[in-house]
Amino acid sequence: MKKRMIMLGLVLHLSAQAADYFPPAGQWAATSPASLKVNEQRLADAVAYAIASENKASKDQALVQATTFGAKEPYDQIIGPMSVRAPANGLIIYQGKLIARWGEVDSVDMTHSITKTFLTTVTGLAWQQGLIRDLQDKVGPSMPQGVDLYQGEHNSQITWDHLLRQTSDWQGTLWGKPDWADRPEGQTPADWPNRPLRTPGSHYKYNDVRINLLALSTLYVWRKPLPTVLNEQIMRPIGASSTWRWYGYDNSWIELDGQRIQSVSGGGHWGGGLFINAWDLARFGYLFLRDGQWQGKQLVSKAWIQLARTGGNANPEYGFANWFLNPGRKALPNAPETAVTFQGAGRNIIYIDQENDLLMVARWIGNGDELNQLVGKVLAALPE
């Protein structure tokens, strides 16, 4: 009994040490897997699997866009920057320490829809600071005079919560892209513009036009560029590099308070979005692994995180964009039910597992069951 109590005390001590560690800018403490009782061979096998499971699609993201979305969507013209990505790369952080890395983790690449999680975080900061009073408030009254984004019987019903959960069913055209043209519904192209209208909040639909609407609406609330807000309130405090960039489109410029400002996009569907390296993605993920606090300062409120990681009525596996949840372990059978992933095309992944004090960044892994298999292999390497 005494030995078990000593061991329990040691585990609690190590857990407290891990929770107290925050990587300084430009570095991350590494340790040998064996020092944390991680099975080195199993971990090496997991890394080898991640490398071998690289997405087989072209590294040229413009070409991928043309052969996926462009093959089945109208209005598919690229209107923002795109890039040629690095090979598969990633990081594994356990109990706060780096225990594995692979590939070109310094490469600044598109992160596609993980950008949405950065966007909803910036919207959350506006909520924390009272710029948005209540997420159940309708968005239209927050817009300046003359901005007609939420006019009419249908669009006027939309709340901030609807935008965050991708249940707004907003109808319109933004930056030259009609809402119906993103993943169009209907049997034939003639049906696409005449999609059924659903009551806002009742139907989940992954839609980049509406996410870009959230970005523009949040810009009007902040009254300054969203990359500036993100940099000042999140990226600099967590020690991120200066290499990341957040882009919009060639035509997504507005005049706001006498200044010309670009409204950023929530992903790379038509180009743009966040271009970032694996290290900075890991810092962003680590912020949420540590419940939104960094070195004793609560950057993102726990109340916001609780809302973000709560599934909606229309889709219990999706919180705020892009918080992918694991109820019933359906999405990731190998992961705990409480695990969360931030996901983007390509496939870009931030895996957050508080039960195991585990953070993983996996970039350019296959689109099938590869993520679930990788998670299973990494967890199998951890001590029981």
**Residue at 124 is within a domain:** yes
User: Is residue 8 scored above 90 in pLDDT?
Assistant: no
DSSP secondary structure, 284-310, as one string: HHHHHHTTTEETTEESS-HHHHHHHTS
- Is 36 domain-assigned? no
In terms of Cβ atoms closer than 10 Å to its own Cβ (0-12, 13-18, 19+), residue 160 is buried
Asked if residues 275 and 244 have their Cβ atoms less than 8 Å apart, the reply is yes
In tens, the pLDDT along 272-291 reads: 999 999 999 999 999 999 99
d(CA 83, CA 199): 38
Q: Are 383 and 38 in contact (CB under 8 A)?
A: yes
232 Cα distance to chain centroid: 19
For the segment 154-172, the average pLDDT, to the nearest whole number, is 98
The reply to whether 91 falls in a domain is no
Residues 74, 78, 84, 87, CA torsion sign: negative
Q: Read off the pTM.
A: 0.95
Provide the pLDDT for residue 384. 87
- DSSP bridge pairs for 255: 260
Enclosing domain of residue 147: 116-264
- Tokens 């997991």 correspond to 46
The CATH number assigned to the domain holding 134 equals 3.40.710.10
Q: Which two tokens stand for residue 128?
A: 């924390």
Please check the confidence at residue 5 and state whether its pLDDT lies above 80. no
- Give me 115's structure tokens: 């950008």
Say what the alpha-carbon torsion angle 285, 183, 225, 222 is, to the nearest 10 degrees: -90
Domain membership of residue 260 (yes or no) is yes
Structure confidence at residue 2 as a pLDDT band (50, 70, 90): low
Convert the pLDDT of each residue in 196-224 to its tens digit. 999 999 999 999 999 999 999 999 999 99
User: Phi/psi at 284 (nearest 5 deg)?
Assistant: -60, -45
> pLDDT for 299-358, tens place per residue?
999 999 999 999 999 999 999 999 999 999 999 999 999 999 999 999 999 999 999 999
139 lies in a domain?
Answer: yes
CA distance linking residue 127 with residue 39, whole number of Å: 43
> Which residue, 145, 176, 172, is CA-closest to 158?
172
Count of structural domains, the chain: 1
In a domain, 210, yes or no: yes
Extended strands (E) in 333-383? 340-344, 348-353, 358-363
pLDDT mean across residues, the chain: 95
Look at residue 247 and tell me if it is in a domain.
yes
Q: Tell me if 311 sits within 8 A of 325, measured CB to CB.
A: yes
For residue range 60-101, what is the model confidence (pLDDT) as tens digits? 999 999 998 887 899 999 999 999 999 999 999 999 999 999
Of 256, 259, 247, 161, the closest CA to residue 212 belongs to 247
Judge whether 162 lies within some domain: yes
